[in-house]
């Protein structure tokens, strides 16, 4: 008999904040990233997003670009240590809805799988914390000298997540039509389209726009918004983007 699974994005879906931003702050603290990078490149994008005159993706991309540049020739030992510290300190800052869904899926005997664009070191630690059965994250490859060599296998885009989900489904004998996916950005669209029960958690405007354009997906997807101590289930047909 085929298994049922629940596939979870992490940043913005389980976690209330981007784990890569916490990783970035820790790397500044441990002097792996010069804090001038924050003030000259990241902070302007952050302030624009914080004032809601810029978008989150631009802010995030700035951090990802600097992270990618920084980890090259850095010891994997240091990054693994920092990832552990981030999850120890911030791993419980999660949305109530997805935390409860993880518990519910576990009680139903479903497989729990994380598919995230965050560095795989962070995904591994977060997956262990929440009892995931498997996981996939962005891999920054390590050379023979134990340092990152600049090669990357991404997991932040929809195409990569689709390939990962199909590979995991084959490996675990998963019935995708009876499975679930949870995500918050357009990078998760391929997961939504492959499973029978897709859930958009606090979706971005771009993701909502893409959902509204997809007649097949909009009939199946659930849209969940959690703000403060209230969780809302929104009807797709009643959405009015302003």
Q: What angle do CA 110, 102, 3 make, to 5 degrees?
A: 10
What pLDDT was estimated at residue 31?
A: 82
What pLDDT was estimated at residue 37?
A: 74
- pLDDT by 10-residue block (mean), the chain, 242 residues: 90 86 82 77 76 73 78 87 92 94 97 94 96 95 90 90 96 97 94 97 91 93 92 85 73
DSSP letters along the chain, please? -PBPEEEE--BTTTBSS-HHHHHHHHHHHTTSS-HHHIIIIIHHHHHHHHTTSS-HHHHHHHHHHHHHHHHBTSBHHHHHHHHHHHHHHHTT-B-HHHHHHHHHHHHTT-EEEEEEEEEHHHHHHHHHHTT-SEEEEEEEEE-TTSBEEEEEE--SSHHHHHHHHHHHHHHHTB-GGG-EEEESSGGGHHHHHHSSEEEEES--HHHHHHHHT-HHHHHH-EEEEEETTEEEEE-GGG----
What pLDDT was estimated at residue 214?
A: 93
Instruction: Domain ranges for the chain, please list them.
Output: 5-238
What pLDDT was estimated at residue 122?
A: 94
Angstrom distance (rounded) from CA 109 to CA 28: 41
CATH architecture of 5-238: 3-Layer(aba) Sandwich (3.40)
């Amino acid at each position: 008999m085929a298994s049922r699974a629940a596939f979870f994005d992490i940043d913005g879906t389980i976690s209330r904040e981007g784990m890569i931003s916490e990783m970035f702050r820790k790397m500044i603290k441990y002097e792996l990233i010069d804090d001038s990078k924050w003030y000259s490149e990241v902070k302007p994008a952050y302030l624009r997003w914080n004032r809601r005159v810029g978008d989150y993706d631009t802010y995030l991309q700035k951090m990802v670009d600097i992270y990618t540049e920084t980890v090259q020739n850095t010891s994997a030992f240091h990054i693994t240590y920092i990832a552990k510290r981030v999850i120890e300190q911030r791993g419980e800052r999660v949305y109530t809805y997805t935390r409860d869904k993880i518990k519910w899926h576990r009680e139903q005997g479903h497989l729990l799988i994380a598919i995230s664009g965050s560095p795989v070191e962070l995904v591994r630690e977060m997956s262990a914390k929440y009892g995931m059965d498997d996981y996939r994250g962005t891999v920054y490859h390590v050379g023979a000298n134990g340092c990152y060599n600049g090669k990357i296998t991404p997991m932040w885009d929809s195409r990569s997540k689709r390939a990962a989900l199909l590979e995991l489904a084959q490996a675990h004998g998963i019935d995708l039509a009876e499975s679930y996916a949870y995500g918050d950005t357009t990078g998760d669209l391929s997961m939504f389209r492959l499973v029978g029960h897709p859930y958009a958690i606090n979706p971005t405007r771009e993701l909502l726009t893409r959902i509204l354009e997809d007649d097949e997906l909009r009939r199946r997807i659930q849209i969940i918004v959690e703000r403060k101590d209230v969780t809302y289930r929104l009807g797709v047909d009643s959405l009015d983007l302003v």
